[in-house]
Structure formats: structure tokens, C-alpha cells
Amino acid sequence: MMKRAFHTIEFLGNLEENKGIQPIFEKSQKCLSDQELPDFLPQFLEIVHRQPIVARFTKKSFTTPKLVIFDLDSTLVQSEFMIHIGMEEDNPERRERLMQLTREALNGEGVWVNNFTERVKLLKGMEVERLKKCYQELALSEGARELVAMLKSHGVPTAIVSGAWIEYVRYIAECLQTEEHIGSVWKHTNGILTGEIEGEPIGPQAKARVMDELADKYGIIPDEIVVIADGYNDLPMMAKAGCSFMIFTTQKPSPSLVPIMVSLEVDLMTT
């Protein structure tokens, strides 16, 4: 693959709102330092949350995809699991609080780990079987199966790295046949959630650490990793990876993963 002279950003889809985007785009065409990325990438994520498009950010050091890491909700799945759980909640106060916290997390407000821990506490007393039925009803995002299958055909391993409940993460990983899956462990006794998390929640810094561990496992470097995700809690991974795709499939109309598949297949065919 031809070496890039600078970091680049591409929008895969039609931008309906141009206001404020061009200055950001022009900045991306310059030699942006790695130290600037944590402040720069959220601006593109905000655009993606407003419009049914995909943004691709590629570092100048990106070589070729050797591992693709996916987030789960609003990425591989066309919804947010916590919102669906909230809809199943019988207590109106707990339902509203769960919805509020989920909206705040989606908007990048507050500390993600604290937010997530409080949400899990609100689930105390819910039946595991009820939650399983809930996630089994969720629809995959358009193009999810095709994208993973294309990567598999090229010998590129895939991983789901999510803060979501590990049972849910495992279910989707089995549906798509990804090589790796990591999620947060929710404690339960006799089929009832205790409202506690076992170990560390898979939050922003944990995700970045998991990415490093997967890089070591597969004998690659971060510049050979692609991250496909929707959330502010994914930004530390995106800042370290060689290439990142930002997508938010919960919105209507929902953007497809097919443009990502086409973009990555071009990379794989030209290496």
C-alpha cells in the first residue's frame, strides 16, 4: 500500500449539513500530531451521530488491515441493548433513569465507567432469561454479516470489544463467527442479576488496553489494526489504531456497513 503523506478523513455517504465540517476537514488534511487526536476525533464522531454517514480516519502510518475490532451497540447491532432493557423495565422511575444514563453515555457526558456501573446497578433483580430474550430480538446492522465474511475470506481476524454484557457479546460473536470477543461480566445468582459487575468494566481505557493485548497476541502493531465503532468510549482505541471507521447505526435512516466493507476490501486488494 502506498505510504500516506498525512492523516486523512473520508466521509462515506452524502453530507446533508456542511456547516462547520469544511474547516475540520481541511485541518485533517494537514500533518496532525498524535497528541492532537484525542481532541480532534470527537468532532467527527459528533458529525456521524447527526447524519447517516460513515467517517473513515486513516493515519499516515497505516499499512494494511491485519485485525479489525468492532464495537457492538450502534455498530454491529442496529440499536442499544440498554435502551431495549429499559423498555422492558416495569418500574417507571428506574426505566427513565436507565434511559437518561444511556443517552448521556451516547453523548459522551460524564465518566463512562461510573455511568455504566450505575446502569448495571439499576438492573438488580432482573431475570437473566428475560435479558437473553431481549438481545436475541435485536437486529444486526445492514452489512454486518457480509463485512465479517469478507474479512474472513482475506484471512483477517475480527474481534468484538464492548462494554456490554459478556453474554450478549458472546451471542453476537457466535452469530457472526468473530475470532475474539470481550465484554463486561454482570454478576447473577440463581438466574437473577445482582446489579454488580465482576472485575473491571470494559470502558475506554480498558478497551485500549485490550487492543494492545490483541496486537501482542496476533503479533502485529496498532498501525495494522482497524477499529469500527460508534461511541465516545471508543476514542482511545481509535486514537491508537492505524485506521478507524465511525458509524452510528441506531439513527434513522440507519447507515450501512457495506461502504466500510468496500473501503477495506480495496485496502486488502492493493497490499
Q: Which residues are catalytic?
A: 71, 73
H/E segment holding residue 182? strand 180-189
Percentages (nearest 5) of helix, strand, coil residues in the chain: 45, 20, 35
Question: Residue 64 carries which DSSP code?
Answer: -
Apex CA 70: angle with CA 227 and CA 30, to 5°?
20
SS3 177: coil
Neighbours of 39 (CB within 10 A): 10
Sheet with 192-198, edge to edge strand ranges: 8-12, 54-58, 243-246, 225-229, 67-70, 158-165, 180-189, 192-198
* 249/53 Cα distance (integer angstroms): 9
* 82/125 Cα distance (integer angstroms): 15
* 224/221 Cα distance (integer angstroms): 6
